[in-house]
Amino acid sequence: MGTFFLHLTVAAAVILEAQCQPQFLEYIERRLSSFENRIAVWYDQTQRYSSEYREFKNQILALVESLDKEKDEQRHNLEMATSRLERIERELDYLESRNPAPTCLEVEENLIEHTAENAKEKKKRKHMTDCAEMIFNIKAMKIVKRLETAAGLWTKDLMSDSEKVYVFDGVSNDTIYEFARLKDFTDFTGLIKGKKIKLPYPWAGTGHMVYKGFLYYIRSEPQFQVIKFDLKNHTVADSAMFPAEQQIPVYGLSPYNYIDLAADENGLWAIYATRENAKYICLARLDHKMLDIEQMWDTPCPIENAENAFVICGVLYVVYNTKLRSRSRIQCVYDVTDIVTTDQAPLVYFPKRFGAHASIKYNPMEKKLYTWDDGHQIIYRLTLKQKSEL
């Protein structure tokens, strides 16, 4: 437009100087008419582009709105399908668990059956309290999930029939996740199906466990404490300072663990290490009601290259690895009853190599290990034998 006005100014000056030149005036008029036509074309094109842009914008908005509606519809369908699957599973569980008595069953037969079940349950409990078994080998493994966090802990209540699963994501936090059952943990991405439980004090390491409805976890500041947390009421039931002084990491490959709590058929245990005995792992038995230390042992199991440990029937199993991430193996065994030594126990290798086990929790009810290996959540089924058979 500035150029246009410049041309007008020049044209006016020329007109003043050559008023008697009609041909020149005709030329100027043609040029002005050409400018006006070009301006009109530019204006038409701008209006057309503007209109096309508005139409394109409206089409995009309509597509986005349609996609949002379709996404909501798909989400609703997925939720409905999930709900129906869960209902079907509950119905199947109910049908499988039902055992209707025959119509001709007598009362005496019911009493006999009930007595037999009670005797079986008592025998099972006696077996657990008088346990004298050791690991013979790893029967099978199952990778149930993989999370992004390299180190963490997942477990069930180690002495309960509850199906709930508890997850500690990472090595320090003040919140854990509770899943109603294993399927809720494994079938969905990440931890979205988990119920968050905020703890009164932050937890440290991966040495925690759930036992008979209570969460026992380690608080590291201001001093090492064992916190007993009621998972039903969400209150602290008890707490105790750990009596060991000058503690150091108990596993060479898991420097975030200073106290590792474990449970077996006979009760609670604490696996730890101190500067006084800096090269070897120590073991203590805990009273799960009062959190008192009942007895302590110095074991011959080295801290170096140890990645984790667990207890079965009063026997400490220490799992070792190397910085080059070889296959994990149970290389040191310590029996508090002195029945079996490391030389007598089988050398057990874990079947697959990922990294190093950040946590290993033995479930006495299921005879399984729940482990966290470089972000993989794995279950190992064990074969046990009597100590006298090894």
Contact 176, 229 (CB under 8 A): no
Give pLDDT, residue 108.
44
Query: If you ran DSSP here, which 8-state letter would residue 65 be given?
Result: H
Give pLDDT, residue 197.
96
Distance of CA 335 to the CA centre of its chain: 32
Give pLDDT, residue 373.
93
**Rounded distance, CA 282 to CA 30, Å?**
105
What amino acid occupies position 74?
Answer: Q
Give pLDDT, residue 80.
79
Give pLDDT, residue 16.
56
Give pLDDT, residue 1.
55
Give pLDDT, residue 346.
86
> pLDDT under 70 in the chain at which residues?
1-20, 83, 85-130, 323-325, 390
∠ CA 355-182-96, nearest 5°, is 140
14-48 pLDDT per residue, tens: 555 555 577 777 888 888 888 888 888 888 888 88
318-329 pLDDT per residue, tens: 999 876 667 899
Measured in degrees and rounded to the nearest 5, phi and psi for residue 219 equal: -110, 130
